[in-house]
Structure 1
Amino acid sequence: MQKFLGALLICTAIIPLQAQQVLSPDKNISLTFAILENGVPSYKVSYKQKDVIKSSALGLETKDVPSFLVGFSVKDVKQSSVDNTWSPIYGEQKSIRNQYNELVVTLEQKALKGRFIKIHFRVFNDGVGFRYEFPKQDELKYFIIKEEKTEFNLAGDHKIFWIPGDYDTNEYAYTTSKISEIPSLMAQATIPVHAQSPIASPSVQTPSMMKSADGLYINIHEAALINYPAMALNVDAVNYKMSAHLCPDGVGNKGYMQTDAVTPWRTVIVSDKAADILTSKTILNLNEPTAYEDVSWIKPVKYVGVWWEYFVTGKSTWAYSNENNVRIGQDFSLLKPSGHHGATTENVKKYIDFASSNGFDAVLVEGWNVGWEDWFGNWKEEVFDFVTPYPDFDAKGLQQYAAAKGVKIIMHHETSGSATNYERRLDKAFQFMADHGYNAAKTGYVGKIIPRGEHHDSQWMVNHYIHVAKTAAAYKIMINSHEAVRPTGLCRTYPNWFAQESARGTEFEAMGGLAPEHTTILPFTRMMGGPMDYTPGIFQTDLSAYGRGDRVKTTLVKQLAYYVTMYSPLQMAADLPENYNRFPDAFQFIKDVAIDWDETYILEAEPGDYITTARKAKGKEAWFVGGVTDENSRTANINFSFLPATKKYVATVYADAKDASWNLKPQAYTVTKLIVTNKSILKQFVAPGGGVAISVKEATTDEIKKLKKL
């Protein structure tokens, strides 16, 4: 169970009902609630006297009952303060402070027989969260949401890092522009992605990251997305106003509600320092603690896998046969093998041996189960049964082989978008995993969703993902979901749902590549909601080595840095084992780097340009630093003040060579050992598309004598 420390401070105050103000504990953020003309509820937010969100309307439009938009008066107001500390099961720091001032406004629609709702506002030192509550009452039992009308009236034409609004995919490349430029760039930004459903009006997805002309960093997202569709943001590019746009279902409705009910929290994180955005824990704090009684089985995982070879080598495939019309239940041993199947017993053993000899926890195996011959693009309901291996995959034998070497196998459950089929087979699939010693599953939702007409981000699918996580917990199985709705901090409530993809990850490096700036944006956008299974660690970045024209647009050292800058309790060494064997000194960093942390320090950051992060390993006197840049070279300023005083440490610095770049000599790097203290400052060259990675441990007497001092 998560532990709660500290005191809960609650006070109730009766204050004037026309305009209510609540400040953050440090007094820097001010949120004001007011009733506008015609009884429209509104709010505004400022930071250090600067407008962040100007007066913006609140409310929901409904389909079957009178809407929650106008005719409101304030019935009651309560304020309270909370200050406690809790300990996550895994994460970027061992304890998280949950400190906020809260305003709860009860609003009455007197013309509708006194029907009422509540709006909760929580103001933290780094942002605000607010949500609607619909208490049980005689005048309100069931209702259908036509659209949420929450507005975010911005204070200017901010710089914004955005991807197009879409009901089915988050896998777009980021565009950087002014808000006013979004409509003219939308067609160019909406590149083809599988099963995409772009929103017709100009819209962007959350988390939406912005920077104002006067130096404010602003992030808009949501927290605790449960029993509700995901929110995109409509964009009024003339007035710099955004508004909620919920994902519809197959008949066009946005949500089905029964009181008591609450919406997700709408979040606005703000600071005049980019680093504060990355260290914010407001979204996690707005999620409920887990109700799981036993969490001892939930542990971070570092893994390798039968995966990257499918994308780059052309020598192996997910499918066992070249036939393309198969059914669940048929005898797959009668199919003619293609000779290119990757998930064979022999091949998986090689990965198990590699994992065991290099200290990895697990091996992901994709393509182990029958059905891959015609899984994609047919909108077929019963594609996989999740329990029948191909004839050349010995599930029991591999379990025994892996267990003898101290390695787990991560099961792959690709659903091809058929959530109905997966739900019918879920318990049987998880029991199969439990029987074979598999304690983690990678789920996938490539393709159009079944039930047909639903979307990846609709209310039904949001509930499906949570159902999978809760069912998996009953079998003590951890879930890494791909192509699912973007995360909203639910890894706190359902901690076995410990990683997601939900963005453009490494696989796209083999499908046209990712811009060098991509991973300087993701921590400010997608990763605000939770950990990402980005699958880093590609050493062979020039894919012409496999007869391909693609290139990974990073240096080798930048791939090392990702293990620190891209937080996840699930980290993959994604490249082929033979490529790691070619660079054993660089591979050492991947073997050494921690994946669970006591403390995190953002040393420097600017979205779209650079990030340098330092972290202390959980329960160890070991620290790791990672720095990444965009397409421009730079000098990273690494201040070691996070180290304890009085001691000396060895810093092993993995750096780009002076002539390295993402497109020229990406594998050129140096490894240097230096003696550092908490007063040391390292100014390190970072190549275009490059990075820096550093491991730090306490120095021995001999090391202090022999090594150069910084």
Structure 2
Amino acid sequence: MKAYRIVISFFSSMIFLMSCASEHKKIEVTSPNDNVQVHFFLSEQGEPHYIVHYKKEKVVDSSKMSFELKDAEPLDDNFNIINMETSTTDETWEMLWGEDAQVRNHHNTLRVELEETSELKRRLNIVFKVYDDGLGFRYEFPKQEHLNDVVITDENTEFNLTGDHKTWWIPGDWDIYEYLYNTTAFSKIDALRHYNPKAHLGQTYVPENAVNTPVTMKTNSGIYLSFHEADLTNYAGMTLAVDTLNLKMKSELVGNSEHIKVKRQTPFETPWRTIQMADKPGDLIESKLIVNLNDPKVVDSLPYFKPMKYAGIWWDMHIGTGSWDYSGAYHAANTKYAKEMIDFASEHNIGGMLVEGWNIGWEKWWDKKKKQVHFDFVTPYPDYDLEAIVRYGKSKGVELMMHHETSADIVLYEKQLDTAFALMKSLGIHSVKTGYVGSVIPEGEYHHGQYMVNHYQKVLEKGLETQVVINAHEPIKATGKRRTYPVAVAREGVRGQEYNAWSKDGGNPPEHLTIVPFTRMLGGPIDYTPGIFNTSLKPYKQDNQINTTLAHQLALYVVLYSPVQMVPDLIKHYQGHPAMQFIKEVGVDWNASKVLDAEIGEFITVARQEKGTDHWFLGAITDENKRTIQVKLDFLDADKTYLARLYKDRSDSHYMNNPEVYDIEEKEVNSRTILELHLAEGGGCAVSLIPKL
């Protein structure tokens, strides 16, 4: 393993005695370049507060930090500072897979130890890690005599904003993140009005005016902010309750039917509460703050996993050409079709193949509570020869991606977890797509609560044990755990492509994927399933369509990051199609990634260099407005000439009435070239940049 520079400098470790005399004085910690300043202080009542500045501008005003506990007094005031430590960390670590080969982790840390002045003298520590592009802070509950079994009924972490910022948000749903993003002033957030449980497959619950994270904002002075969390482990997911009158947010943890948010025993620590800050929206995407706030990886390599594209038996069921159910009109998950899909994948440099609907239990899965119909994760339907398909795939260099739809019956799935993963290990299957559609069993729990957070963690650990990577759908939010557990390769947690095929509200508008990279994707990789060529969905879905051009669909392979990218359309829509060349060539694992230009909700241009080659790929997409953008290629090697192949909208392309027309253009370029790209309404451009020999 390569050695990297690591510096940990403790430049202050002291008993902060002066705090007893003047507890409202501020303690400051800044980022390495002084861009970000955090001030921590206790009020005259001994209440913890913090303030944040970015480049001398206040972005978070005085905000309180406290906890409410069951059968105990709250942890909110009467604190003294009994110790303070500060340090600096500067290290570079290697991603096993990711947007960049190496990540620098450079920050200053402030750790403040608090103790109550009351007779119980309960203790609470608060740790800040301050980066040049933001910060994270968490709470530590030390082992102590008068605080052992802890039941948190509310965590009251405030984020007191300094203006009525432009905000990109979805409702703080306790079960699902599959919403279109709203763009409003902060004061106009109304999550309850946008809450529509009938629009989703899963049970949904929005108890108050709150938003899910990441929630991203733009201040009047042009600063971009995003609020999220990192290292969500054995704790409840955090939504942010919104006070539109006072321009304030407060952490609102996802609970259960017993109104309990978190049960822990000391010692323990909470997830990091994160605030990213940037002058340009693309800097939010390039930031590594979220992954850096997670622990180092628990394994040094994943020899059984290689980032890949994958085909699959999936889109058929959404457009109605097949069914998951063996008793349906046409059961798509059959041996013959699976082998055809493997042949297609092998021919087009696609390393994996997913099959949904292969196992017993799909007949009445929507009525799982009423009729007690359960999935069996080791028994295939009679028309699906699992072992033969695995063997055939290996003979063609294509790996089967297993599918486990649990229908959120966690009790059943955990009973079968050992046998289901043992089967994959015995067959040499090294990836699984898990699904959790519907209301959670046991009843009273929600997808984003502590119970489910712990379940998702169990699955990661089981994957690590059996050499299986996890692509989770209907998941808990991504919070950077992929650094610690590299088997967490992707997850959904976003309103995906399938909504275009069956939703009644017109599908995903063109602006949707110009917002997602600056919100949901800040948490981690997205399994969105780009690359539909039959965007009109004819003749299968006459009342539905995909609201992008074909060139836009190609560009998504670069714009949206995932180490597993699906090639989801029907085989016949790809065969003989010249644009298939881009999908065949485009990388999935990257040495470097750059956001060249962007404005949230309008357009984004991304370039990525494939790991292990000198190949670059570029993707640009726009919203419903056509636009012309200038793209500098100064990221290319100055000593090389490249062949650029552009897959671009035609002059008459339009996402609604002419989405599938496009042109392919080839030209020689170098690092001094400026490309002029004309993007149609809902359009895009995909570019491969291959060095000439």
Is residue 355 from structure 1 mapped to residue 361 from structure 2 by the alignment? no
> How big is the shift at 1:540?
0.4
Equivalences for 1:650-669 in 2 at 5 Å? 650-669=643-662
In 2, Cα distance between equivalents of 1:674 and 1:112: 77
In 1, Cα distance between equivalents of 2:395 and 2:526: 30
Q: Please give the per-residue CA displacement for 1:657-691, whole angstroms capped at 9, x wherever unaligned.
A: 11111112111111111111111111110111111
Out of 460, 465, 469, the residue aligned to residue 469 of structure 1 is 460
Is residue 320 from structure 1 mapped to residue 318 from structure 2 by the alignment? no
1:503 equivalent in structure 2 = 494
1:8 equivalent in structure 2 = 8
> How big is the shift at 1:200?
2.5
Report how many aligned residue pairs link the two structures.
681
Q: Please give the per-residue CA displacement for 1:684-709, whole angstroms capped at 9, x wherever unaligned.
A: 10111111110001124xxxxxxxxx
8 Å Cα contact 2:195-2:206 kept in structure 1: no
In 2, Cα distance between equivalents of 1:568 and 1:554: 20
Out of 535, 546, 553, the residue aligned to residue 541 of structure 1 is 535
> How big is the shift at 1:518?
0.6
1:374 equivalent in structure 2 = 364
Out of 149, 160, 171, the residue aligned to residue 164 of structure 1 is 171
- Residue identity opposite 1:8 in structure 2: I
> How big is the shift at 1:2?
9.2
1:327 equivalent in structure 2 = none
2:248 equivalent in structure 1 = 241
Equivalences for 1:411-430 in 2 at 5 Å? 411-430=402-421
Bigger mean CA offset, 260-269 vs 58-67: 58-67
> How big is the shift at 1:79?
0.8
**Equivalent position SS for 1:399:** helix
8 Å Cα contact 2:128-2:138 kept in structure 1: yes
In 1, Cα distance between equivalents of 2:680 and 2:340: 35
8 Å Cα contact 1:158-1:212 kept in structure 2: yes
In 2, Cα distance between equivalents of 1:241 and 1:475: 45
In 1, Cα distance between equivalents of 2:571 and 2:294: 39
Out of 484, 509, 514, the residue aligned to residue 475 of structure 2 is 484
8 Å Cα contact 1:223-1:286 kept in structure 2: yes
8 Å Cα contact 1:2-1:289 kept in structure 2: no
In 2, Cα distance between equivalents of 1:2 and 1:470: 26
> How big is the shift at 1:191?
5.6
Bigger mean CA offset, 4-13 vs 649-658: 4-13
In 2, Cα distance between equivalents of 1:629 and 1:55: 38
**Equivalent position SS for 1:490:** coil
Q: Please give the per-residue CA displacement for 1:601-633, whole angstroms capped at 9, x wherever unaligned.
A: 110011111110001100111000001111111
> How big is the shift at 1:37?
3.3
> How big is the shift at 1:112?
3.8
In 2, Cα distance between equivalents of 1:121 and 1:377: 47
Out of 343, 354, 368, the residue aligned to residue 364 of structure 1 is 354
In 2, Cα distance between equivalents of 1:654 and 1:3: 41
Indicate the RMSD between aligned Cα atoms, in angstroms.
1.5
Is residue 254 from structure 1 mapped to residue 261 from structure 2 by the alignment? yes
Out of 48, 67, 74, the residue aligned to residue 74 of structure 2 is 67
Q: Please give the per-residue CA displacement for 1:74-133, whole angstroms capped at 9, x wherever unaligned.
A: 111111111110001100111000000111000110204322110000100000100000
> How big is the shift at 1:649?
1.0
Equivalences for 1:81-100 in 2 at 5 Å? 81-100=88-107
> How big is the shift at 1:438?
1.4
Bigger mean CA offset, 12-21 vs 546-555: 12-21
**Equivalent position SS for 2:369:** coil
Q: Normalized against structure 2, the TM-score is what?
A: 0.96
**Cα distance, 1:339–1:194 mapped onto 2, change above 3 Å:** closer
1:330 equivalent in structure 2 = none
Is residue 154 from structure 1 mapped to residue 161 from structure 2 by the alignment? yes
Q: Please give the per-residue CA displacement for 1:508-543, whole angstroms capped at 9, x wherever unaligned.
A: 111231011111111111111110101100010101
Equivalences for 1:302-451 in 2 at 5 Å? 302-312=309-319, 314-321=320-327, 338-379=328-369, 383-451=374-442
Is residue 554 from structure 1 mapped to residue 548 from structure 2 by the alignment? yes
1:695 equivalent in structure 2 = 688
In 2, Cα distance between equivalents of 1:198 and 1:660: 40
Out of 207, 211, 223, the residue aligned to residue 216 of structure 1 is 223
> How big is the shift at 1:49?
1.4
Is residue 520 from structure 1 mapped to residue 548 from structure 2 by the alignment? no
1:175 equivalent in structure 2 = 182
Is residue 604 from structure 1 mapped to residue 597 from structure 2 by the alignment? yes
In 1, Cα distance between equivalents of 2:680 and 2:436: 37
In 2, Cα distance between equivalents of 1:289 and 1:474: 18
- Residue identity opposite 2:599 in structure 1: E
Q: Normalized against structure 1, the TM-score is what?
A: 0.94
Bigger mean CA offset, 355-364 vs 381-390: 381-390
In 2, Cα distance between equivalents of 1:669 and 1:315: 26
**Cα distance, 1:230–1:112 mapped onto 2, change above 3 Å:** farther
- Residue identity opposite 1:561 in structure 2: A
Structure 2, unaligned stretches of length 5 or more? Answer: 20-24
Out of 559, 567, 574, the residue aligned to residue 568 of structure 2 is 574
8 Å Cα contact 1:640-1:677 kept in structure 2: yes
In 1, Cα distance between equivalents of 2:391 and 2:304: 20
In 2, Cα distance between equivalents of 1:343 and 1:3: 47
1:704 equivalent in structure 2 = none
**Equivalent position SS for 2:574:** helix
- Residue identity opposite 2:557 in structure 1: Y
Structure 1, unaligned stretches of length 5 or more? Answer: 322-337, 701-710
2:525 equivalent in structure 1 = 531
In 2, Cα distance between equivalents of 1:361 and 1:51: 49
**Cα distance, 1:352–1:425 mapped onto 2, change above 3 Å:** same
8 Å Cα contact 2:192-2:206 kept in structure 1: no
2:51 equivalent in structure 1 = 44
Bigger mean CA offset, 225-234 vs 284-293: 284-293
Is residue 35 from structure 1 mapped to residue 42 from structure 2 by the alignment? yes
**Equivalent position SS for 2:283:** helix
**Equivalent position SS for 2:390:** helix
- Residue identity opposite 1:236 in structure 2: D
In 1, Cα distance between equivalents of 2:562 and 2:83: 42
> How big is the shift at 1:400?
1.5
> How big is the shift at 1:34?
0.8
2:206 equivalent in structure 1 = 199
8 Å Cα contact 1:649-1:677 kept in structure 2: yes
**Cα distance, 1:440–1:100 mapped onto 2, change above 3 Å:** same
In 1, Cα distance between equivalents of 2:473 and 2:115: 42
**Equivalent position SS for 1:519:** helix
In 2, Cα distance between equivalents of 1:362 and 1:2: 30
- Residue identity opposite 2:188 in structure 1: E
- Residue identity opposite 1:519 in structure 2: L
**Equivalent position SS for 1:144:** strand
**Equivalent position SS for 1:372:** coil
- Residue identity opposite 2:331 in structure 1: H
**Cα distance, 1:547–1:136 mapped onto 2, change above 3 Å:** closer
- Residue identity opposite 1:453 in structure 2: G
In 1, Cα distance between equivalents of 2:670 and 2:299: 42
In 1, Cα distance between equivalents of 2:229 and 2:119: 30
**Equivalent position SS for 2:543:** coil
- Residue identity opposite 1:522 in structure 2: V
Q: Please give the per-residue CA displacement for 1:475-494, whole angstroms capped at 9, x wherever unaligned.
A: 10011000011110011111
**Cα distance, 1:658–1:533 mapped onto 2, change above 3 Å:** same
Task: Tell me the percent identity.
Answer: 43
Is residue 626 from structure 1 mapped to residue 619 from structure 2 by the alignment? yes
8 Å Cα contact 2:586-2:688 kept in structure 1: yes
Equivalences for 1:451-466 in 2 at 5 Å? 451-466=442-457
2:673 equivalent in structure 1 = 680
In 2, Cα distance between equivalents of 1:339 and 1:213: 56
